Amino acid sequence: MPILKNAKKALRSSQRKTVVNNRVRSKLKTMVDGFKKSPTVATLSLAFSAIDKAKKKNLIEPNKAARVKSQLSKLVTTK
């Protein structure tokens, strides 16, 4: 456990950020998996939105976001 005042504050801040980040990661995984089960343009849009939000919060790297978006868009165009 932190002893210093600023360490206690940092721990509280970190815990709040962890909750938000986990929520965004979960939403990202849910949307991508949902798109893979039924690849339509509507679900592609939702998946892209979740990917962009995760990228904006620096939860995934920009290159990973681009790679995943490319892979998903290939699924909708081939079917």
Label residue 51 exposed, middle or buried (CB < 10 Å: 0-12, 13-18, 19+): buried
For residues 7 and 35, what is the distance between their CA atoms, to the nearest angstrom? Answer: 42
pLDDT for 78 equals 61
Alpha-carbon dihedral 57, 51, 47, 14, rounded to 10 degrees: -40
pLDDT for 56 equals 96
Per-residue pLDDT of the chain (79 residues; tens, 9 = 90+): 889 999 999 999 999 999 999 999 999 999 999 999 999 999 999 999 999 999 999 999 999 999 999 999 999 866 5
